[in-house]
Amino acid sequence: MTELKCKLLVIGAGPGGYVTAIRAGQLGVDTIIVDMDALGGTCLNVGCIPSKALIHAAEEFHLAGHLSQGSPLGISVSEPSIDLRATMKWKGSIVKRLTGGVGALLSKAKVRVVPGRASFMDGKTVEVSHADGTTTIRAENIVIATGSRPVELPFLPFGGKVISSTEALALKKVPDTLAVIGAGYIGLELGMAYAKLGAKVTIIEAMDRILPTYDAKLTRPVLKRLKSLGITLHTGARAKDLSKDKTALVFETKDGKRAQVAADQVLVTVGRKPATDGWGREAVVLDMDGPFVKIDAHCQTSMSGIYAIGDVTGEPMLAHRAMAQGEMVAEIVAGHTRVWDKIAIPAVCFTDPEVLVAGLSPDEAKAAGYKTLVSEFPFTANGRAMTMEAEDGFIRIVAREDNHLVLGIQAVGKGVSELAASFGLALEMGARLEDIAGTIHAHPTQGEALQETALRALGQALHI
Amino acid sequence: MGEFVIKLPDVGEGVAEAELVEWMVEDGQAVREDDVLAAVMTDKATVEIPAPTDGVVSWRGGKIGDVLAVGSPLVKLEVVGEGNAAEMAEAAPAPAPKQEDAPKPAPAPAPAEPPAQTPAPAAAPVMPTTQRSAQMGSGAPRAEGEKPLASPAVRKRALEGGVDLRRVMGSGPAGRISHEDLDAYFNKGASSAGAGMARVANTSVKDIPMVGLRRKIAQKMALSKSRIPHITYVDEVDMTALEALRGQLNQTRKADQPKLTILPFLMRAMAMAIAEQPQMNSIYDDEAGVVHQHGGLHIGVAAQTDGGLVVPVVKHVEARGLWECASEVGRLAEAAKDGRASRDELTGSTITITSLGKMGGIVTTPVINHPEVAIIGVNKMRTLPQWDGTAFQPRQMMNLSSSFDHRVIDGWDAAVFIQKIKALLESPAMIFIED
């Protein structure tokens, strides 16, 4: 048993945790980070990054197949095939590069990495158990960045055919049939990817539409694409069980009828829950906010000197939120004055087409008591979108009627995730419609549609 | 100097003429660009006409109530440089309507765009037409409960400066708070903030390089305090007799004699005390482990100059009389203050006197001028009641606060030394007794 001391201990080396540690290290704070798994957490190992790799591979494969059936672009190719093991190996190499990079950054910032499972002994002491025994770490400040886990359905526990997103990102062959439970962004991203890879995909959603947390109009192009990809969607339906012979998923349709669909794999993506156990929470008695650890505007928990960031603290469970929180906490621990004052946390669904939201939706703005101007500009009127065969979708701006302050920007369309930067910047800088309208947007790009949306809100659209 | 003609601009759609309702300037008045010159009224709106350039009003085209045609001359300014009178005359020989084509030196400000500046301070108050000043971007406070609008960089600066952005006026569009707005708030500070305004934490840090004399002083002080274990001894001295003597001597002094302060008396008393306790007049070389006991008494006199503390040295006090000491102190103090003191005059002391005169306070803990072993501090003289056995008497009392290097000087010896000086000062005649 060894004993260590530090000024800052970070539990969990996901995007929130490792960013906290790097920033703290940069600021000269003596920092230790603990994780029982690989550096990078869910995001780098079994989340954001590998899923984007798989989505890209699926898109490429699908495109090749599409072209093999004749293309108006004048390209002809023969029918493609895919070796999913090779795909996964390539995916693994990207993950390895990134997690290795995190390790290098941590060591450059002079952060000590202690692998193992951390558990609170008291508010200042954490015990880390690992293969070589235990390490006791005494820390002046502790950051809980334990993240989240996939939610399991009690009647369809993970194992065998029933898989979570983690396993779905490591399949050895493309299943002939795939049933996806849950039409949130994870289920749709993976469901669409496997459909493009050749699986016959069926999606079961309990609510009456896909992406229920996004406004319906924004999700319509995604719904259209689901159909064109041949994905079967059952909304208002409830998954029940595996069939007796374990070859199919049994579910109850909207009308209450029992039905079943053949499924080599059943992917359960019904959400993620905060990882609030397994690290000795009972030893420190923290106030909770529902299932989440309760935090204040400084990410401090109910116990002084203990902070919590990322998925364990609530929605939206997004890596970039955790990173921003982590940066702030590191600076607070280093003695700076900081407070959580962000205006927008953009969120992206890497579906086909992509969905991007930042700030308030039209309904949220109304609910907040604003009189609003809502303006949309379709990609059908955007030259660049036409040249990319990506005319589905639009950009929408929600602004205050009185002073034209932009409250929210949403988009759906191919590749719109890259517009998150300008959406976020506009909101964080407090742009008015006139500011976006008055900014030269490069031609020909999809981003021009943002300027046109603002112009349209002002009654001055040029290209529609 | 040239003449600049300002014509009545097209103030509204389809309006050919406007009534002059107010002059904000007078003949001969100097105006700056954007100062409001006049207000004209159409049946639609009242519009202020700003000066397009700096100049002096040389002519005003009409009086209040006159109806002027759009394009007719309104004001003539005397300006530096050529002006525009010549081209105006050429471009517009005919009256009103055609002048639409002529360059408009003063386009009508759109009502939504307030002038960048408020009217000239000297001008008559702009009463009837200044509703717009209320709409000016700078100023409109946010509605209650509304979040302040500012970029992340501004928010961070405000947070670190302890400023609640809800209290800061935003001059930008939609009330956005800029760095300049924050600067203005910081500069305004708590002084003119008025009721309801919070005091603002000033988190600025000014870096002052420690150079020259200041650095020298810092090094000397650090050396003295880190190397020398100080013992400080304070006793009071009844200066009444000495003051009486000093007063008489000053009254009867010759023209070439300096005015006496108490310093020369103290120096002479020290010379006599040191004759009995020569260890006080020493330089301790602690690295070599040697105390250099000096025969000659060289007293440093700490003097405040604009640049900081300097210590000119009166050499061989043992060989100087009272008047000689006084004139030497005076000469050196002047030289030090003027920065004329030579290196020789600022070095070589074997013991130091420090005095803050009227600022002397009751007690000080003087820092020994390393590598000397003693320093005598003079505190402020005050008239205090003293018990003479039967009654309180007003006596002029002064403390001596003195520090000694305890490695070389024992506390007992320090006390004996000060008691000797005290005795001499209290019975000043003894200073002049040569045994």
Query: How far is the alpha carbon of A310 from chain B, nearest alpha carbon, in Å?
Result: 21
Closest chain A CA to residue B161:
A337
* Cα(A204)–Cα(A214) distance, integer angstroms: 18
Q: Decide if pLDDT at B79 tops 50.
A: yes
B423 found inside a domain: yes
B26-59 pLDDT per residue, tens: 888 888 888 888 888 766 567 788 888 888 888 8
Cα atoms found within 13 Å of the Cα of residue A319, Cβ hemisphere only:
16
Q: What pLDDT score does A433 carry?
A: 95
Q: What pLDDT score does B87 carry?
A: 60
Average pLDDT along chain A: 96
Q: Decide if pLDDT at A376 tops 60.
A: yes
Same structural domain, B260 and B327: yes
A219-235 pLDDT per residue, tens: 999 999 999 999 999 99
User: Between B151, B156, B159, which is nearest A429 by CB?
Assistant: B151
B104 found inside a domain: yes
- Residue at which a domain ends, from B135, B170, B204: B204
B216 found inside a domain: no
B144 found inside a domain: no
Q: What pLDDT score does B405 carry?
A: 96
Same structural domain, B197 and B250: no
CB A393 within 8 A of CB A374: no
What residues of A are labeled active site?
443
Cα dihedral across residues A444, A447, A451, A453: positive or negative: positive
B124 found inside a domain: no
Residue B265 identity (one-letter amino acid): F
User: Between A337, A428, A430, which is nearest B160 by CB?
Assistant: A337
Closest chain B CA to residue A336:
B160
B405 found inside a domain: yes
CB B332 within 8 A of CB B264: no
Cα→Cα distances A443→A391, A448, B130, B409, Å? 16, 7, 44, 88
Question: Of residues B330 and A346, which shows the higher confidence score?
Answer: A346
Helix (H, G, I), strand (E, B) or coil at B358: helix
| Preferred mutation among A298, A331, A337, A407 to probe B, highest tally of B CBs within 10 A | A337
Query: How far is the alpha carbon of A335 from chain B, nearest alpha carbon, in Å?
Result: 11
Give B392: exposed, middle or buried? Use CB within 10 Å, 0-12, 13-18, 19+.
Answer: exposed
Q: What pLDDT score does B20 carry?
A: 82
Cross-strand bridge partners of residue A376: A396
Give A133: exposed, middle or buried? Use CB within 10 Å, 0-12, 13-18, 19+.
Answer: exposed
Cβ-based contacts of B160 with chain A (< 8 Å): 336-337
CB A171 within 8 A of CB A84: yes
User: Does A339 contact B at CB distance below 8 Å?
Assistant: yes
Same structural domain, B347 and B403: yes
In this prediction, what percent of chain B has a pLDDT beyond 70? Answer: 80
Distance of CA B58 to the CA centre of its chain: 44
| Preferred mutation among A332, A400, A403 to probe B, highest tally of B CBs within 10 A | A403
Nearest residue to B313 (alpha-carbon basis) of B341, B281, B282, B283: B341
Q: Decide if pLDDT at B203 tops 90.
A: no
Distance of CA A352 to the CA centre of its chain: 15
Query: How many CB atoms sit inside 10 A of residue A319's CB?
Result: 21
Helix (H, G, I), strand (E, B) or coil at B27: coil
Q: Decide if pLDDT at B68 tops 60.
A: yes
What residues of B are labeled active site?
406, 410
B221 found inside a domain: no
Query: How far is the alpha carbon of A369 from chain B, nearest alpha carbon, in Å?
Result: 11
Q: What pLDDT score does B96 carry?
A: 42
User: Between A337, A338, A403, which is nearest B174 by CB?
Assistant: A403
* Cα(A460)–Cα(A148) distance, integer angstroms: 46
Residue B82 identity (one-letter amino acid): E
**Chains A and B: how many Cβ contacts under 8 Å?**
32
CB B12 within 8 A of CB B42: yes
Cα atoms found within 13 Å of the Cα of residue A129, Cβ hemisphere only:
6
* Cα(A308)–Cα(A146) distance, integer angstroms: 9
Cross-strand bridge partners of residue A432: A405
Cα→Cα distances A262→A154, A246, A371, B15, Å? 21, 9, 49, 80
Closest chain B CA to residue A342:
B152
Taking residues A419-447, report their average pLDDT.
96
Confidence of residue B114 (pLDDT cuts 50, 70, 90): very low
* Cα(A178)–Cα(A167) distance, integer angstroms: 13
Cβ-based contacts of B175 with chain A (< 8 Å): 403
Same structural domain, B94 and B26: yes
User: What CATH code is carried by the domain that includes residue B97?
Assistant: 2.40.50.100
Strand B282-285, strand B290-293: pairing: antiparallel
The dihedral formed by the CA atoms of A8, A10, A16 and A20, expressed in degrees to the nearest 10: 20
The encoded tokens of residue A435 equal: 């500011």
* Cα(B234)–Cα(B402) distance, integer angstroms: 6
- Which residues numbered 121-160 in A keep a CB inside 8 Å of some CB on B? none
Phi/psi of residue A68, nearest 5 degrees: -70, -15
Average pLDDT along chain B: 81
User: What CATH code is carried by the domain that includes residue B160?
Assistant: 4.10.320.10
Q: What pLDDT score does B201 carry?
A: 72
Q: Decide if pLDDT at B130 tops 70.
A: no
Cross-strand bridge partners of residue A332: none
Same structural domain, B185 and B75: no
CB A161 within 8 A of CB A248: no
Phi/psi of residue A77, nearest 5 degrees: -135, 160
**Between chains, do A341 and B159 touch, taking CB under 8 Å as contact?**
yes
Nearest residue to A281 (alpha-carbon basis) of A254, A255, A258, A313: A313
The encoded tokens of residue B379 equal: 């505190």
**Between chains, do A428 and B152 touch, taking CB under 8 Å as contact?**
yes
Q: What is the radius of gyration, based on Cα positions, of chain B?
A: 39
Domain containing B156 equals 150-204
Sequence-separated contacts (24+) of A255-261 with Cβ below 8 Å: A259/A234, A261/A177, A261/A179, A261/A202, A261/A232
* Cα(B233)–Cα(B377) distance, integer angstroms: 10
Got the DSSP string for A51-112?
Answer: HHHHHHHHHHHHHHHHHHT--TTS---PPP---HHHHHHHHHHHHHHHHHHHHHHHHHTT-E
A282-303 pLDDT per residue, tens: 999 899 999 999 999 999 999 9
Q: Decide if pLDDT at A22 tops 50.
A: yes
Same structural domain, B282 and B231: yes
Query: How many CB atoms sit inside 10 A of residue A380's CB?
Result: 12
B370-388 pLDDT per residue, tens: 999 999 999 999 999 999 9
Query: How far is the alpha carbon of B205 from chain A, nearest alpha carbon, in Å?
Result: 15
**Tally of domains within chain B:** 3
Q: Decide if pLDDT at B76 tops 90.
A: no
Q: What pLDDT score does B308 carry?
A: 75
Cβ-based contacts of A341 with chain B (< 8 Å): 152, 155, 159
- The number of helices, as runs of H, and strands, as runs of E, in chain A is 13, 24
B255-268 pLDDT per residue, tens: 888 999 999 999 99
Q: What is the radius of gyration, based on Cα positions, of chain A?
A: 24
Query: How many CB atoms sit inside 10 A of residue A153's CB?
Result: 16
User: Does A338 contact B at CB distance below 8 Å?
Assistant: yes
A262-272 pLDDT per residue, tens: 999 999 999 99
User: Does A428 contact B at CB distance below 8 Å?
Assistant: yes
Confidence of residue B174 (pLDDT cuts 50, 70, 90): confident
Q: Decide if pLDDT at A422 tops 90.
A: yes
| Preferred mutation among B135, B149, B154, B179 to probe A, highest tally of A CBs within 10 A | B149
User: Between B149, B156, B162, which is nearest A430 by CB?
Assistant: B149
Q: What pLDDT score does A384 carry?
A: 96
The encoded tokens of residue B90 equal: 């050429």
**Between chains, do A405 and B174 touch, taking CB under 8 Å as contact?**
yes
B5-34 pLDDT per residue, tens: 888 877 665 667 778 888 888 888 888 888
Q: What pLDDT score does B35 carry?
A: 84
* Cα(B435)–Cα(B427) distance, integer angstroms: 16
User: Between A339, A341, A432, which is nearest B173 by CB?
Assistant: A432
Confidence of residue B109 (pLDDT cuts 50, 70, 90): very low
Residue A461 identity (one-letter amino acid): A
Same structural domain, B55 and B95: yes
- Residue at which a domain ends, from B119, B142, B171: B119
Distance of CA A210 to the CA centre of its chain: 16
Residue A193 identity (one-letter amino acid): A
Same structural domain, B346 and B240: yes
Helices (H), B70-211: 85-91, 131-135, 152-160, 179-188
Phi/psi of residue A143, nearest 5 degrees: -115, 125
Taking residues B77-92, report their average pLDDT.
67
Query: How far is the alpha carbon of B158 from chain A, nearest alpha carbon, in Å?
Result: 10
Q: What pLDDT score does B435 carry?
A: 59
CB B397 within 8 A of CB B382: yes
A336-352 pLDDT per residue, tens: 999 999 999 999 999 99
* Cα(A172)–Cα(B182) distance, integer angstroms: 59
Phi/psi of residue B292, nearest 5 degrees: -90, 105
Q: What pLDDT score does A343 carry?
A: 95
Q: What pLDDT score does B53 carry?
A: 83
Closest chain B CA to residue A335:
B160
| Preferred mutation among B135, B144, B160, B176 to probe A, highest tally of A CBs within 10 A | B176
User: Between A336, A428, A432, which is nearest B174 by CB?
Assistant: A432
Bin A102: left if φ > 0, else alpha if -120 < ψ < 50, else beta: alpha
Phi/psi of residue A260, nearest 5 degrees: -145, 155
B137-166 pLDDT per residue, tens: 334 456 667 788 999 989 988 998 888 898
Bin A110: left if φ > 0, else alpha if -120 < ψ < 50, else beta: left
Query: Hey, what domains does chain A have and what are their CATH numbers?
Result: 2-55+84-149+273-333 (3.50.50.60), 162-270 (3.50.50.60), 347-457 (3.30.390.30)
Same structural domain, B31 and B81: yes
In this prediction, what percent of chain B has a pLDDT beyond 90? Answer: 39
Confidence of residue B199 (pLDDT cuts 50, 70, 90): low
The encoded tokens of residue B309 equal: 């503390």
Question: Of residues B243 and B302, which shows the higher confidence score?
Answer: B243
B318 found inside a domain: yes
Give B172: exposed, middle or buried? Use CB within 10 Å, 0-12, 13-18, 19+.
Answer: middle
Taking residues A7-32, report their average pLDDT.
98
Cα dihedral across residues B347, B348, B352, B358: positive or negative: negative
Query: How many CB atoms sit inside 10 A of residue A259's CB?
Result: 16
Same structural domain, B261 and B399: yes
* Cα(B141)–Cα(A117) distance, integer angstroms: 53
User: What CATH code is carried by the domain that includes residue B336?
Assistant: 3.30.559.10
Helix (H, G, I), strand (E, B) or coil at A210: coil
**Between chains, do B173 and A337 touch, taking CB under 8 Å as contact?**
no
Same structural domain, B181 and B240: no
Q: What pLDDT score does A43 carry?
A: 95
Same structural domain, B270 and B411: yes
